[in-house]
Amino acid sequence: MPVAGDSAAAGDSDEALIRRYARGEAAAFEVLYRRHEMRVWRYLQRNLRNAATADELLQEVWFAVARDAARYVPSARFTTWLFSIAHNRMIDSIRVRRRHVSLESLGHESAVVTRQLTADPSASPVAAAVARDEAAALIRAVEELPREQREAFLLQVEGDLDIEEIARITGSSFETTKSRLRYARTKLRQMLKEYA
Protein backbone atom coordinates (compact mmCIF):
# COMPACT_ATOMS: atom_id res chain seq x y z
CA MET A 1 0.00 0.00 0.00
CA PRO A 2 1.50 3.32 -0.98
CA VAL A 3 1.81 5.62 1.97
CA ALA A 4 2.79 9.20 1.63
CA GLY A 5 4.63 10.85 4.44
CA ASP A 6 2.87 13.57 6.37
CA SER A 7 5.39 16.14 5.32
CA ALA A 8 4.77 15.36 1.68
CA ALA A 9 1.02 15.59 2.02
CA ALA A 10 0.79 18.50 4.44
CA GLY A 11 1.03 21.14 1.75
CA ASP A 12 -1.52 19.49 -0.47
CA SER A 13 -4.98 20.84 -1.01
CA ASP A 14 -7.91 19.14 0.65
CA GLU A 15 -9.05 17.87 -2.70
CA ALA A 16 -5.67 16.34 -3.48
CA LEU A 17 -5.57 14.70 -0.08
CA ILE A 18 -8.98 13.10 -0.37
CA ARG A 19 -8.08 11.80 -3.81
CA ARG A 20 -4.89 10.34 -2.42
CA TYR A 21 -6.79 8.69 0.33
CA ALA A 22 -9.25 7.28 -2.18
CA ARG A 23 -6.25 5.71 -3.87
CA GLY A 24 -5.27 4.06 -0.62
CA GLU A 25 -2.96 6.53 1.12
CA ALA A 26 -4.04 6.44 4.74
CA ALA A 27 -1.55 9.15 5.65
CA ALA A 28 -3.39 11.61 3.42
CA PHE A 29 -6.54 11.03 5.43
CA GLU A 30 -4.76 11.72 8.68
CA VAL A 31 -3.50 15.05 7.37
CA LEU A 32 -6.98 15.91 6.26
CA TYR A 33 -8.48 14.85 9.57
CA ARG A 34 -6.05 16.86 11.67
CA ARG A 35 -6.59 19.88 9.44
CA HIS A 36 -10.35 19.94 9.92
CA GLU A 37 -11.00 18.03 13.12
CA MET A 38 -11.42 21.03 15.38
CA ARG A 39 -13.50 23.03 12.92
CA VAL A 40 -16.01 20.24 12.51
CA TRP A 41 -16.05 19.49 16.18
CA ARG A 42 -16.68 23.13 17.15
CA TYR A 43 -19.43 23.34 14.56
CA LEU A 44 -21.12 20.31 16.08
CA GLN A 45 -20.43 21.10 19.70
CA ARG A 46 -21.60 24.69 19.51
CA ASN A 47 -24.69 23.78 17.59
CA LEU A 48 -25.62 20.92 19.85
CA ARG A 49 -24.05 22.29 23.02
CA ASN A 50 -23.17 18.82 24.05
CA ALA A 51 -19.60 17.59 23.83
CA ALA A 52 -20.48 13.91 24.04
CA THR A 53 -22.93 14.16 21.17
CA ALA A 54 -20.44 16.24 19.24
CA ASP A 55 -17.84 13.50 19.72
CA GLU A 56 -20.27 10.89 18.55
CA LEU A 57 -21.21 12.85 15.46
CA LEU A 58 -17.62 13.81 14.74
CA GLN A 59 -16.81 10.15 14.51
CA GLU A 60 -19.79 9.48 12.25
CA VAL A 61 -18.89 12.37 9.96
CA TRP A 62 -15.32 11.19 9.45
CA PHE A 63 -16.38 7.59 9.06
CA ALA A 64 -18.63 8.80 6.25
CA VAL A 65 -15.80 10.79 4.71
CA ALA A 66 -13.55 7.73 4.76
CA ARG A 67 -16.24 5.49 3.34
CA ASP A 68 -17.30 7.87 0.58
CA ALA A 69 -13.91 9.31 -0.30
CA ALA A 70 -13.95 7.63 -3.69
CA ARG A 71 -17.30 9.21 -4.50
CA TYR A 72 -16.11 12.71 -3.77
CA VAL A 73 -16.27 14.75 -6.95
CA PRO A 74 -14.15 17.87 -6.82
CA SER A 75 -16.87 20.03 -8.35
CA ALA A 76 -17.30 21.59 -4.92
CA ARG A 77 -14.71 22.33 -2.29
CA PHE A 78 -13.90 19.56 0.12
CA THR A 79 -14.98 21.69 3.06
CA THR A 80 -18.39 22.20 1.47
CA TRP A 81 -18.77 18.44 1.19
CA LEU A 82 -17.42 17.88 4.69
CA PHE A 83 -19.76 20.36 6.34
CA SER A 84 -22.67 19.05 4.30
CA ILE A 85 -22.08 15.67 5.90
CA ALA A 86 -21.73 17.28 9.32
CA HIS A 87 -24.93 19.25 8.85
CA ASN A 88 -26.89 16.19 7.76
CA ARG A 89 -25.61 14.10 10.66
CA MET A 90 -26.48 16.84 13.07
CA ILE A 91 -30.01 17.23 11.72
CA ASP A 92 -30.52 13.48 11.99
CA SER A 93 -29.29 13.58 15.55
CA ILE A 94 -31.62 16.43 16.45
CA ARG A 95 -34.56 14.54 14.96
CA VAL A 96 -33.74 11.46 17.00
CA ARG A 97 -33.39 13.52 20.13
CA ARG A 98 -36.70 15.22 19.53
CA ARG A 99 -38.37 11.84 19.69
CA HIS A 100 -36.81 11.06 23.02
CA VAL A 101 -36.62 14.47 24.62
CA SER A 102 -39.60 16.70 24.83
CA LEU A 103 -38.01 19.75 23.41
CA GLU A 104 -40.05 22.24 21.48
CA SER A 105 -37.26 22.90 19.14
CA LEU A 106 -33.77 22.04 20.03
CA GLY A 107 -31.61 25.06 19.64
CA HIS A 108 -34.40 27.53 19.05
CA GLU A 109 -34.90 30.58 21.19
CA SER A 110 -35.75 28.50 24.16
CA ALA A 111 -33.81 29.66 27.17
CA VAL A 112 -34.74 26.46 28.92
CA VAL A 113 -33.16 24.36 26.23
CA THR A 114 -30.10 26.53 26.19
CA ARG A 115 -29.64 26.23 29.93
CA GLN A 116 -30.27 22.51 29.81
CA LEU A 117 -27.66 21.93 27.15
CA THR A 118 -25.07 24.33 28.48
CA ALA A 119 -25.39 22.61 31.82
CA ASP A 120 -23.62 19.66 30.27
CA PRO A 121 -20.83 18.69 32.68
CA SER A 122 -18.23 18.52 29.96
CA ALA A 123 -18.98 22.07 28.90
CA SER A 124 -19.40 23.73 32.29
CA PRO A 125 -15.76 23.75 33.40
CA VAL A 126 -14.87 25.88 30.42
CA ALA A 127 -17.75 28.22 30.97
CA ALA A 128 -16.97 28.54 34.63
CA ALA A 129 -13.29 29.13 34.12
CA VAL A 130 -13.58 31.81 31.48
CA ALA A 131 -17.04 33.14 32.13
CA ARG A 132 -15.78 36.68 32.54
CA ASP A 133 -13.72 36.60 29.47
CA GLU A 134 -15.04 38.36 26.44
CA ALA A 135 -14.15 35.44 24.26
CA ALA A 136 -15.99 32.98 26.40
CA ALA A 137 -18.96 35.29 26.51
CA LEU A 138 -19.00 35.44 22.75
CA ILE A 139 -18.96 31.69 22.46
CA ARG A 140 -21.80 31.46 24.90
CA ALA A 141 -23.66 34.06 22.90
CA VAL A 142 -23.11 32.06 19.77
CA GLU A 143 -24.52 29.00 21.45
CA GLU A 144 -27.57 30.97 22.46
CA LEU A 145 -28.36 32.20 19.00
CA PRO A 146 -31.46 30.79 17.31
CA ARG A 147 -30.57 27.49 15.70
CA GLU A 148 -30.72 28.60 12.08
CA GLN A 149 -28.71 31.73 12.77
CA ARG A 150 -26.22 29.84 14.86
CA GLU A 151 -25.74 27.19 12.24
CA ALA A 152 -25.31 29.69 9.45
CA PHE A 153 -22.81 31.63 11.52
CA LEU A 154 -20.83 28.53 12.47
CA LEU A 155 -20.78 27.26 8.92
CA GLN A 156 -19.32 30.56 7.87
CA VAL A 157 -16.69 30.98 10.58
CA GLU A 158 -15.78 27.33 11.11
CA GLY A 159 -16.41 25.94 7.65
CA ASP A 160 -15.20 29.10 5.93
CA LEU A 161 -18.12 28.77 3.56
CA ASP A 162 -19.75 31.56 1.62
CA ILE A 163 -23.43 32.42 1.67
CA GLU A 164 -24.21 30.39 -1.40
CA GLU A 165 -22.58 27.29 0.00
CA ILE A 166 -24.32 27.70 3.35
CA ALA A 167 -27.65 28.13 1.59
CA ARG A 168 -27.08 24.94 -0.36
CA ILE A 169 -26.10 22.94 2.69
CA THR A 170 -28.97 24.14 4.86
CA GLY A 171 -31.53 24.00 2.08
CA SER A 172 -32.36 27.67 2.41
CA SER A 173 -32.50 30.47 -0.09
CA PHE A 174 -29.62 32.83 -0.57
CA GLU A 175 -31.55 35.77 0.86
CA THR A 176 -32.74 33.83 3.89
CA THR A 177 -29.22 32.72 4.65
CA LYS A 178 -27.95 36.23 4.25
CA SER A 179 -30.60 37.50 6.67
CA ARG A 180 -29.74 34.83 9.22
CA LEU A 181 -26.10 35.78 9.11
CA ARG A 182 -26.95 39.45 9.46
CA TYR A 183 -29.23 38.83 12.45
CA ALA A 184 -26.67 36.57 14.06
CA ARG A 185 -23.94 39.14 13.77
CA THR A 186 -26.18 41.94 14.98
CA LYS A 187 -27.02 39.95 18.09
CA LEU A 188 -23.43 39.04 18.75
CA ARG A 189 -22.30 42.64 18.37
CA GLN A 190 -25.05 43.73 20.71
CA MET A 191 -23.92 41.17 23.22
CA LEU A 192 -20.34 42.37 22.97
CA LYS A 193 -21.45 45.94 23.55
CA GLU A 194 -23.43 44.92 26.61
CA TYR A 195 -20.49 42.94 27.88
CA ALA A 196 -18.18 45.88 27.40
Under the binding rule (CB under 8 A), the answer on residue 25 touching other proteins is yes
Whether the Cβ atoms of residue 184 and residue 153 lie closer than 8 Å to each other: yes
Under the binding rule (CB under 8 A), the answer on residue 33 touching other proteins is yes
Smallest distance from other proteins to CB 95, Å: 22
Binding residue (CB under 8 A) for other proteins from 4, 48, 54, 145: 54
Under the binding rule (CB under 8 A), the answer on residue 62 touching other proteins is yes
Under the binding rule (CB under 8 A), the answer on residue 138 touching other proteins is yes
Contact segment (CB under 8 A) with other proteins among 29-37, 108-116, 143-151, 172-180 equals 29-37
Q: Please give the Cα distance from 124 to 143 (Å, whole number).
A: 13
To the nearest 10°, the Cα dihedral for 148, 149, 154, 155?
Answer: 60
Under the binding rule (CB under 8 A), the answer on residue 139 touching other proteins is yes
Under the binding rule (CB under 8 A), the answer on residue 69 touching other proteins is yes
Under the binding rule (CB under 8 A), the answer on residue 1 touching other proteins is yes
Q: Which residues bind other proteins (CB under 8 A)?
A: 1, 11-16, 19, 21-26, 29-30, 33, 37-38, 41-42, 45, 51, 54-55, 58-59, 62-63, 66-71, 74, 77, 79, 122-123, 126, 130, 133-136, 138-139, 142, 156-157, 160, 185, 188-189, 192
